[in-house]
Chains A and B, each alone.
Chain A
Amino acid sequence: MDMLLDGFATALTPINLLYACIGVLLGTSVGVLPGIGPAMTVALLLPVTYNVSPEGALIMFAGIYYGGMYGGSTTSILLNTPGESSSVITAIEGNKMAKAGRAAQALATAAIGSFVAGTIGTVLLVALAPSVADWVVNLGAPSYFAIMLLALVAVTAVLGDSKLRGFISLALGLSIGLVGTSTGQPRLTFGNSLLADGIDIVVVAVAIFAIGEALWVAAHLRRRPLEITPVGRPWMGRADWSRSWRPWLRGTAYGFPFGALPAGGAEMPTFLSYITERRLSKHPEEFGHGAIEGVAGPEAANNASAAGTMVPLLALGLPTTATAAVILASMQSYGLQPGPGLFDNEPELVWGLLASLFVANTLLLVLNLPLAPVWAKLLRTPRPYLYAGILFFASLGAYSVNFQWFDLLVLLAFGLLGLAMRRFALPVLPLIIGVILGPQLEYQLGQALQLSEGDWTTLLSEPVAVVAYVVIALIVLVPLVARLRGGGTDPLEKELDDLEKEVRP
């Protein structure tokens, strides 16, 4: 508890408060703007890590993460355009509410629900992360290797529709991670001394998230303007409050554990929350026509899962979402190694970051309720400026790594890879996690074998490692067995598909 109070002392210094404000405002505006997500924004801002203090930068990034989640819900409600799969549900009910003249209430329940879920989620994070870290710190290299392998397999095989494509992305990411001389010999450097230190993760992240996305959108620009529901200041009446608070809490209960799991993500808990609310509601007939519970629950689940993803990120050094992966990359560029040691080595930083999550959450609520009409105006930004701006800042970010044109060339090459990945439906998350975790995986394996003097059975010498391998086997085998038995598809999965069809315009 003292640690947390010290953390607030760090988070509430004027300069860090300023970074939190910038992060929240920036995060919300990019969440609102079409085509830019929090992962891309953090990637574009990675150059600030060269001079801003680690506390300041991480506090800002955390604000962007939370803000981006919130901003996405605004466009889902006002325009019926879910930017990410986790806001699909918000779009179903929220946009119906907006069309029925209840946009203000939909935005309010989303904002307050996000605040409630984010705050509870952060409390859980503060309670859990240090004990998880204490537990992990005693694990040996074999267990750590197995857990990282589990995270890679889980992210690759569980998320996304096609396992084959997931593993293709992962293999590409691992090959990018091989480049360099980390093992003492140059690997995949093509004899180019500029590649000796490996490919900078900043360049890869910016290329895949910003250049790839901008080029992909440029190839498929939506021309016809969308209908926006005019909005005033969000507010809720007494009846809305009494219908919202239970869904908020239930949504939080779904969201946090899913976020904390290696492959939970935010999509599944929002669907589960929606289905639960529809079953429990006293007004089931309103669902599909703008039920406030259908916005309150999923939005809370969405934000609670964002808080949940910080548990594996801080305690294990495992990113489970794209934004978490880029935040991890930023920590690495400070020479910080997230994971069990972080709580002991950098207490001021970690607790400052945790405290700033509370601050960011409160700022979101205070700033966003009055600013909703301003965010709606952002949608009028002409696209040429939006995407030219993305390409401009992406180039600047990559160039500022070493001030060498070579990095811009690498940026373009990986940008084109990012474009191809979107064309061929290859998920970007396994690639970026492969780039980040690949070298660590190799390092931990090397450590384990070093200690055992080359005896490979050491990999199974720790119970945690064995459990991890069993889970990996289950993840890979269960779907295979299900397919072989020819069993019908999961009823839940079918329901999700139906829901998704309902909302896609």
Chain B
Amino acid sequence: MSAAKADEPSTRVVDRAQYALAAFLAVVGAYVLYDAATLSAGFSDQVLSPAAFPYVVGGALVVLAVLLAVVTARGDVPEAEAGEDVDLTEGADWLTVAKLVGVFVVNIVLIDLLSWAITGALLFAGCTWVLGSRTHVRDLAIGAVMSVGTWYGFYVGLGIPIPAGILDGVL
């Protein structure tokens, strides 16, 4: 096996990460099929069973997952999306993405306790920091103005009170 491989010209590039995508699609498809199987027959007047559509979509996902795995093995490489502000010539900076996700999770965890008016400011300042800004005080000030401003904007402009959390009575 290994000897045969060594003979092959190694010009073929395989994007291994794409197998992970195929696996993800297969898992989603399988779950959709499983979920469809747990549905009961539906009301007597429902000619189209509630399970019919999920069976089609789930089946399609599994088939597409297999096809994707096949073309990946054959050397299909995705042409990542370019954009006005995207430089694809250098490798991806996944650390920055991970940090941004971290800031986001902090917002999710704290928002019920501290309210949007506070976590929104932290979210903004945190993101500017991750993205390379080094003027912390100014960033935090801008974030605070934005989060408190949007709180009042929603309250006064749209008539929607955003939950105030621990600032209840202060805002």
Residues of A at under 8 Å CB distance from B? 34-35, 47-48, 50-52, 75, 81-83, 161, 164-165, 167-168, 171-172, 174-175, 178, 183-185, 187-188, 213-223, 382-385, 387-389, 391-392, 395-396, 399-400, 403, 405, 408-409, 412, 416, 419-420, 422-425, 438, 442, 445-446, 449-450, 453-454, 504
**Chain A residues closer than 8 Å to B29, beta-carbon distance:** 171
Asked whether, in the complex, the Cβ of B28 is within 8 Å of the Cβ of A399, the reply is no
Whether A175 contacts B58 in the complex (CB less than 8 A), given A385-B142, A392-B123, comes out as yes
Distance (whole angstroms) from the CB of B156 to the closest CB of chain A: 11
Q: For residues 2 through 57 of chain B, which have their beta carbon under 8 Å from a beta carbon of chain A?
A: 17-18, 21, 25, 28-29, 31-32, 35-36, 39-40, 42-43, 45-48, 50, 53-54, 57
Residues of B at under 8 Å CB distance from A? 17-18, 21, 25, 28-29, 31-32, 35-36, 39-40, 42-43, 45-48, 50, 53-54, 57-58, 60-61, 64, 67-68, 71, 78-88, 90, 92-94, 96-97, 100-101, 104-105, 107-109, 111-112, 116, 120, 123-125, 127-133, 139, 142-143, 146-147, 150, 154, 157-160, 162-163
Distance (whole angstroms) from the CB of A283 to the closest CB of chain B: 30
13 of the cross-chain contacts (CB-CB < 8 Å) are: A48-B158, A168-B25, A171-B60, A184-B50, A185-B42, A188-B32, A218-B130, A218-B131, A219-B93, A391-B124, A423-B92, A445-B53, A446-B47
Distance (whole angstroms) from the CB of A408 to the closest CB of chain B: 5
**Chain B residues closer than 8 Å to A409, beta-carbon distance:** 108
**Chain B residues closer than 8 Å to A422, beta-carbon distance:** 80-81
Task: Choose one: B18, B28, B48, B64; the contact of A449 (CB below 8 Å).
Answer: B48
Task: Choose one: A178, A403, A412, A424; the contact of B53 (CB below 8 Å).
Answer: A178
Asked whether, in the complex, the Cβ of A185 is within 8 Å of the Cβ of B80, the reply is no
Asked whether, in the complex, the Cβ of A387 is within 8 Å of the Cβ of B97, the reply is no
**Chain A residues closer than 8 Å to B147, beta-carbon distance:** 392
**Chain A residues closer than 8 Å to B21, beta-carbon distance:** 420, 424
Distance (whole angstroms) from the CB of A226 to the closest CB of chain B: 10
Distance (whole angstroms) from the CB of B63 to the closest CB of chain A: 9
The count of A-to-B residue pairs whose CB atoms sit within 8 angstroms is 213
Asked whether, in the complex, the Cβ of A391 is within 8 Å of the Cβ of B127, the reply is yes
Distance (whole angstroms) from the CB of A42 to the closest CB of chain B: 17
Sample of 20 further A-B pairs with CB below 8 A, known A83-B83, A174-B53: A47-B158, A164-B67, A164-B68, A167-B64, A217-B85, A220-B86, A221-B96, A384-B132, A387-B131, A400-B162, A408-B107, A409-B108, A420-B21, A423-B17, A423-B78, A424-B18, A438-B57, A442-B48, A442-B53, A446-B48
Majority SS of interface residues in chain A? helix
Give the distance in Å from the alpha carbon of A411 to the alpha carbon of B12 in the complex: 37
Give the distance in Å from the alpha carbon of A220 to the alpha carbon of B128 in the complex: 16
**Chain B residues closer than 8 Å to A395, beta-carbon distance:** 104, 107, 120, 123
Whether A184 contacts B46 in the complex (CB less than 8 A), given A175-B28, A392-B120, A412-B104, comes out as yes
